[in-house]
Chain A
C-alpha cells in the first residue's frame, strides 16, 4: 500500500460510477471507495470478486442440522429412550417428525448467526473499533475514491479533475 494517497470527493453516485470506470480504464488501482449508502453495481465497476459468504452459510446450516440430529438422537433415542405419550423412541427415523422443528430451527440458527459472525470477522468490525473514515462527509452526502500515489500525483489530479470530482486532496496514509 502506498503511503501517500489521493482522495477525490464526489457528490453524486452516478458521477462516482463513471469516475470509477474511467480510473479503471486508465489502469490505476483504486484502493478504496467510501460511500454513505450501497451504490448498486459499484462492486462490478471496481472489479471486486463475488462474496462467498452464502457458501459459508450453507456449510454452517449443514453443521447446525448435524448438531440437531446428533443431539436429539443421543438424548431421545440412545441415552434414555423413554416412552413419552406413546411416541416411538426405538430409532431416530421412527420419531423423526417430532424432531423436524428442532432440526429446522438449529439449521437456521447456525446458518444465520455463524454467517453474521463470519461477516464481522472478515470485515473487521467489533465494538470499540476505531472508525476508518477519511472524511466525515462520506457518511452523509459525499462519495470518496482513494487511489495510491506512486510519483504520479499531477497526472492523477488531472484525471480525477476530469471525472467531475468536487474536491481532491493528497494525504499521508497512516499505518
Chain B
C-alpha cells in the first residue's frame, strides 16, 4: 500500500491555497466598468515601457503613450470599449478555464490510454494499471469543476462563449444557423452525457479491476476488456464533440474538421507524460520495485511518438488553412500569429523539437531525469496549447501569463496532485491477479 507522503500533501495544499488567492486577485482586479478597463490598459502600457527603459526614457515613453492614448480615445467608439471591457473581464475566467480543462484533459487522456491498454491486452502495462487508475480518479472532481464553469458561462457570469449571448445571436446570421447545435440547453445536456459516460467507465472499470484481485477466475478481467473496447468507441465520438463544444465554440465562426483529433493528441501525450512522471516518482520512493527501465522506455517511446503525432495534426490543420487562405478560416491563425507569436510558435518548439531531440536516443529514454525534464517541457507546452486555443477568442490581445494564469495552474495542479495521490493510497499499487501480470513483471525490451 502507498502512503501519501506528508511533504507532498502539504505541498499540494499550499499550491491550492496560493492558487486560490491568485485567482481571487485575478477576479477582484478585473474591471467592472469601461472606465476601469481603459485605465488598466493605460497602466499596463506605462508599466511595460517603464520596465524596459531607463529613467529618462520612462518619462518620454509615458508622455508619448498619453498622446497615443488621447488620439486613440477619440477614435474609439462605445462598442470597442465594451469589447475591451469584456476581454479584461474574461481574463480570470479564461485563466481558470484553461487550467481546469488542462488538468481534466490529462486524466481523460490517461483514461483513454488505460482503455487502449486493456482493449489491446497489452502485456507490458498491467503493472502500471493502478497508477493509471489513480490518475483517472481526478476525472470526477476535475470533470465536475469544468462542468460548473460551463454552467456559470451559460448563466452569463462571463463572456467566454459569445454564442451563449442571446443579443449577439440575434444580430449574427452565422450563429443563428448554428443555433440548432450551439444552444445552452443542448450544450449542457451534451456535457452531461460526455462526463457521465467517461466517469461511469472510469468507476466501473476500477471496480472490476479491484474485484479481479479477489476473484478466483478471470470473468472480471474479460468484462473489463469488453467495457474498455466499448468505451473507446464512445470516447472517440464524445471526445470529438467535446472538443467542438468546449474549445472550438469559443471561436463560433470558425471550424476545423480535424480539431477533435488535435485535442485528443494533446490530451493523450500529456496523459502519458503524467503516467511516466508519477511512475518515476513512486519508483524513486521505493513503491514500484518491479517496474523496470523497460517500462519507462516504453512510456517514453509513447511520449516521443505521440508528440510527433500531435505535431503532425497541428501542422496538418495549420498548413491546410494557411495554404488555402480562405478568409473565414484563416482569421483563426491570423489572430494567433499577430497577438500570440511567442506562445504559438514557442509551443511548437516545446512540444515537437524538444522531445524529438531529447527522446530520440534509446538510451536517454531509460534515464529518469531525462524523461522528467522532457515531461516537464511537454506538459508546459501542452498547457500553452490549451492557452492558445482558448485565450485568443476570449481575451484577444489583452493576454498575459500573470497572476490569474499562474494561480489557475497552482490551484488545479495542487488539487490534481492531492486527488491522484489520495486515490493511490486506496488500493495496493500492484494488481494481484491479472492474466498478463507475470508477463508485465518479466517485461524486458
Q: Which residue of B lies closest to A41 (CB)?
A: B444
Q: Which residue of A lies closest to B360 (CB)?
A: A58
Q: Does B287 contact A (CB under 8 A)?
A: no
B360 and A98 form a contact (CB under 8 A):
no
Task: Kindly provide the distance from the CB of A115 to the nearest chain B CB, expressed in whole angstroms.
Answer: 14
Q: B315-330 interface mask toward A, CB cutoff 8 Å, 1 = contact, 0 = none?
A: 1001100110100000
* Distance between Cα atoms of A122 and B233 in the complex (Å): 48
Q: Which residues of A contact B325 (CB under 8 A)?
A: 86
Q: Which of A54, A58, A97 has the most CB of B within 10 A?
A: A97
Q: B102-113 interface mask toward A, CB cutoff 8 Å, 1 = contact, 0 = none?
A: 000000000000
B360 and A97 form a contact (CB under 8 A):
no
Q: How many A-B contacts at CB < 8 Å in the complex?
A: 12
Q: Which residues of A contact B323 (CB under 8 A)?
A: 97-98
Q: A70-90 interface mask toward B, CB cutoff 8 Å, 1 = contact, 0 = none?
A: 000000000000000010000
* Distance between Cα atoms of A54 and B360 in the complex (Å): 10
* Distance between Cα atoms of A29 and B242 in the complex (Å): 64
Q: Which residues of A contact B322 (CB under 8 A)?
A: 97
Q: Which residue of B lies closest to A101 (CB)?
A: B319
* Distance between Cα atoms of A98 and B318 in the complex (Å): 11
Task: Kindly provide the distance from the CB of B366 to the nearest chain A CB, expressed in whole angstroms.
Answer: 14
Contact of B315 (CB < 8 Å), options: A54, A86, A100:
A100
Task: Kindly provide the distance from the CB of B326 to the nearest chain A CB, expressed in whole angstroms.
Answer: 12
Q: Which residues of B contact A98 (CB under 8 A)?
A: 319, 323
Task: Kindly provide the distance from the CB of A51 to the nearest chain B CB, expressed in whole angstroms.
Answer: 11
How big is chain B's contact interface, by range? under 10
Report whether over half of chain B's contact residues are helix, strand or loop; otherwise say mixed.
Answer: helix
Q: A38-57 interface mask toward B, CB cutoff 8 Å, 1 = contact, 0 = none?
A: 00000000000000001000
A100 and B319 form a contact (CB under 8 A):
yes
Interface residues of A in 17-54 (CB under 8 A from B): 54
Report whether over half of chain A's contact residues are helix, strand or loop; otherwise say mixed.
Answer: helix
Task: Kindly provide the distance from the CB of B294 to the nearest chain A CB, expressed in whole angstroms.
Answer: 14
Q: A123-158 interface mask toward B, CB cutoff 8 Å, 1 = contact, 0 = none?
A: 000000000000000000000000000000000000
Interface residues of B in 56-96 (CB under 8 A from A): none
Q: Which residues of A contact B318 (CB under 8 A)?
A: 97
Q: Which residues of A contact B362 (CB under 8 A)?
A: 54
Q: Which residues of B contact A58 (CB under 8 A)?
A: 360
Contact of B319 (CB < 8 Å), options: A54, A86, A97:
A97
Q: Which residue of B lies closest to A87 (CB)?
A: B323
Task: Kindly provide the distance from the CB of A79 to the nearest chain B CB, expressed in whole angstroms.
Answer: 22
Task: Kindly provide the distance from the CB of A142 to the nearest chain B CB, expressed in whole angstroms.
Answer: 28
Task: Kindly provide the distance from the CB of B322 to the nearest chain A CB, expressed in whole angstroms.
Answer: 5
* Distance between Cα atoms of A97 and B345 in the complex (Å): 13
* Distance between Cα atoms of A98 and B324 in the complex (Å): 11
Task: Kindly provide the distance from the CB of B140 to the nearest chain A CB, expressed in whole angstroms.
Answer: 41
Task: Kindly provide the distance from the CB of B378 to the nearest chain A CB, expressed in whole angstroms.
Answer: 21
Q: B322-345 interface mask toward A, CB cutoff 8 Å, 1 = contact, 0 = none?
A: 110100000000000000000000
Q: A94-112 interface mask toward B, CB cutoff 8 Å, 1 = contact, 0 = none?
A: 0001101000000000000
Q: Which residue of A lies closest to B312 (CB)?
A: A104
* Distance between Cα atoms of A81 and B200 in the complex (Å): 59
Q: Which residue of A lies closest to B315 (CB)?
A: A100
* Distance between Cα atoms of A54 and B318 in the complex (Å): 31
* Distance between Cα atoms of A58 and B361 in the complex (Å): 10
Q: Which residues of B contact A86 (CB under 8 A)?
A: 325
Q: Which residues of B contact A100 (CB under 8 A)?
A: 315, 319
* Distance between Cα atoms of A54 and B362 in the complex (Å): 10
* Distance between Cα atoms of A45 and B326 in the complex (Å): 61
Interface residues of B in 289-317 (CB under 8 A from A): 315
Interface residues of B in 349-402 (CB under 8 A from A): 360, 362
Task: Kindly provide the distance from the CB of A40 to the nearest chain B CB, expressed in whole angstroms.
Answer: 10
Q: Which residues of B contact A54 (CB under 8 A)?
A: 362
Q: Which residues of A contact B360 (CB under 8 A)?
A: 58
* Distance between Cα atoms of A150 and B322 in the complex (Å): 72
Q: Which residue of A lies closest to B320 (CB)?
A: A97
Q: Which residue of B lies closest to A97 (CB)?
A: B319
* Distance between Cα atoms of A86 and B325 in the complex (Å): 10
Known: A97-B322, A98-B319. 10 other contacts (CB 8 A): A54-B362, A58-B360, A86-B325, A97-B315, A97-B318, A97-B319, A97-B323, A98-B323, A100-B315, A100-B319
10 pairs of residues in contact across A and B, judged by CB atoms under 8 Å: A54-B362, A58-B360, A86-B325, A97-B315, A97-B318, A97-B322, A97-B323, A98-B319, A98-B323, A100-B315
Which 7 pairs between the two chains have the least Cβ-Cβ distance? A97-B319, A97-B322, A98-B323, A100-B315, A100-B319, A97-B323, A97-B318
